[in-house]
Amino acid sequence: MKTLSHWIGGKPVEGISGNFGPVYNPATGAQEKQVPFASVDEVDSAVAAAKAAHATWGTSALAKRTSILFKYRELVDAHREEIAQLITAEHGKVHSDALGEVARGLEIVELACGISEKLKGELSTQVSTRVDVSSIRQSLGVVAGITPFNFPAMVPMWMFPLAVACGNTFVLKPSEKVPSAAFKLAELAAEAGLPDGVLNVVNGDKTAVDRILEHPDIAAVSFVGSTPIAKYIHTNGTANGKRVQALGGAKNHMLVLPDADLDLAADSAINAAYGSAGERCMAISVVVAVGDTADPLIEKIKERAGKLTIGPGDDPASEMGPLITKVHRDKVASYVTGAGAQGATVALDGTGFTVEGHEDGHWIGVSLLDNVTPEMDCYRDEIFGPVLSVVRVDTYDEAIALMNNSPWGNGTAIFTRDGGAARHFQLEVEAGMVGVNVPIPVPVGYHSFGGWKDSLFGDHHIYGNDGVHFYTRGKVVTTRWPDPSDGGINLGFPSNG
């Protein structure tokens, strides 16, 4: 069995804590690797390497940083197949989905390559006699990222490329379930010329997380994961004086109006609910069908769902892979059986699905629940699996009230041909990301990603301009160069004359 390593100070470092976690192949259910869990001392070692590196990296030329990032972009692009294979082996998602993840992560690397434009300051001349005022942005120092299992490459690339481009050094704690992609990204960064200690990767569990949150030399923490953990990260990080952006969970709704193209809506519901086996914070998990749209829409969804090919992620024929662990698979299945017991109609039941020759894999088929009501567990909880609920409402106003009553506000979508209705929706719905006939409205790299309400804790969304502001702090400089003829003493209050 392969034992993985940390990446500290520009090189692989074997774990010394004696604690390890299993890394499974979700398609077979077999443990293929073990990952070391960092002790407090090992986290401290990574932070010390990052702090030492910041002494020179934080004052390095923007031209040097961007040159390294351009090289890094080339290397990640050249190794995208290898990175995708690592993702598929540990996460289980199909290869095409893994490749798409790498491509979306590269968008943020490309944004970071243009950091010189993002860090331009402002200047006001002659605000008073011979007085100029300028504003600049500077790095924070050592910053950290704690990332989830569902996007082992993309979410780390949402964080560290921008952070290091801004002059910070970085400590990454990836999910212990999917550690290999993050390690590969660090290797490639070193190959691109990133100085030792600028990017460090420590694997671990709650011990590592808590040390990151309390370490006095870490200035800021980025997190993506479930809402309960996001609350924990934000509460404890800010209590220790850190800047925190913590992105939590979601229950994303897709509103379908009677005038919508139902074929487009059905295709979109399939893609958004069942892609990546539903293990996406931007997955659509609730369709809100207005008026008489529910019956024909459900039939179209069922027809398409019956044609999906579920299998190992490395099989080119597979369109959906397994879930991350057996425990999670069983939890997702419990929501389907529980929905039926609570009065929902189980239009499609994927709980008995398996794959021949891979019976020990973490398999579940697609499930579709009709006549769901807000009181049911399948509606109230984030399931994080291939389960789509349909809620029937009579009017647009009833739909908006239902959606805005949700404690989450990550992403949402409306399907309609009516521009006026779409405009009302984008202004009235309480969510941070909105799609109009777009089921998964994840913003491009130069716009920021983030939700509202219990989907985000902190003041900054991730990447885009918000990301640059999160990883820097502003400074205003007021300058006066006296004219040789100036002189004398004046104790009066300065004026703007």
Give catalytic residues, as residue numbers.
281
Specify whether the CB–CB gap between 301 and 274 falls below 8 A: no
Q: Report the alpha-carbon distance of residue 279 to residue 329 in Å, rounded.
A: 11
Distance of alpha carbon 304 from alpha carbon 390, whole angstroms: 16
Asked if 322 and 371 count as a contact pair (C-beta separation under 8 A), the reply is: no
Query: Rounded to whole angstroms, how far apart are CA atoms 215 and 323?
Result: 34
Which two structure tokens, joined as six digits, stand for 42?
Answer: 């090992």
CB atoms within 10 A of CB 55: 11
Per residue in 152-178, is it b (16+ CB within 10 Å) or e — as a string? bbbbbbbbbbbbbbbbbbbbbbbbbbb
Phi, psi of 173 (to 5 degrees): -115, 95
Q: Give CB contacts under 8 A, 24+ apart, made by 348-356.
A: 348/302, 348/305, 350/386, 350/387, 353/310, 355/27, 355/310, 355/311, 355/312
Decide if 254 contacts 286 (C-beta within 8 A): yes
- Asked whether the beta carbons of 101 and 87 are under 8 A apart, the reply is yes
Over its C-alpha atoms, the chain yields an Rg (Å, rounded) of 25
CB 477 within 8 A of CB 134: yes
**What does the block give as tokens for 122?**
């402002």
